[in-house]
Amino acid sequence: MLSKNMQAALNEQVKIEAQSSQVYLAMASWSEIQPGIDNVTQFFYNHSDEERMHMLKLIHFINERGGFAMIPALEQPALTYPSIIHAFKELLKHEIMVSESINKLVDIALNEKDYATHNFLQWYVAEQIEEEALARTLNEKLEMIGDEKSGLYLFDKDILNVSIASSNDE
Ligand code: OFO
């Protein structure tokens, strides 16, 4: 059975995952109307779907542990970005924020000696390591490319392979 405190903290994470899905969905929609970055667009759509899956996993866990997962209202995400590099910088910043939030949940679970929740959260800890590493790799690539159009073309060509390779490592 979840404590009230643990339940509230997990519900807060439901909101963060839902908000993440929304932020990446907005990135996907924005990049869909930019020329020549179809795979980047697909990457953002996929990423948005993954965040929704993270949210659902939390919802089921809360409800199965005798709590109640409350579906939250969300904030309006940024709709546009000055460039693709800006969008990916935002993505990395966002993932770092999510990792910090997962770490806080782990702290709460440990303090409460809630080992079931602690165990459940390890999946998120591992996932965040993957996602931060992927976001860093993509940012490094974009920094090397700068404004070069041919580089961006190759980046777009490559991005789905990079993300598939990283999810296969999980
Ligand atoms: Fe939910 O993994 Fe990214 O944020």
Q: pLDDT for 102-113, tens place per residue? A: 999 999 999 999
Report how far residue 89's alpha carbon sits from residue 94's, in angstroms, rounded to the nearest whole number: 9
Q: Give me ligand 1 centre to Cα 105, in Å.
A: 14
Kindly indicate the confidence band of residue 169, based on its pLDDT and cuts at 50, 70 and 90: low
Instruction: Provide the whole-model pTM.
Output: 0.95
Do residues 13 and 133 lie in contact, with contact meaning Cβ atoms separated by under 8 Å?
Answer: no
Q: Give me ligand 1 centre to Cα 164, in Å.
A: 16
Domain 4-168 has CATH 1.10.10.10: no
Do residues 118 and 106 lie in contact, with contact meaning Cβ atoms separated by under 8 Å?
Answer: yes
Q: Coil, helix or strand for 32? A: helix
Report how far residue 90's alpha carbon sits from residue 69's, in angstroms, rounded to the nearest whole number: 28
Q: pLDDT for 65-118, tens place per residue? A: 999 999 999 999 999 999 999 999 999 999 999 999 999 999 999 999 999 999
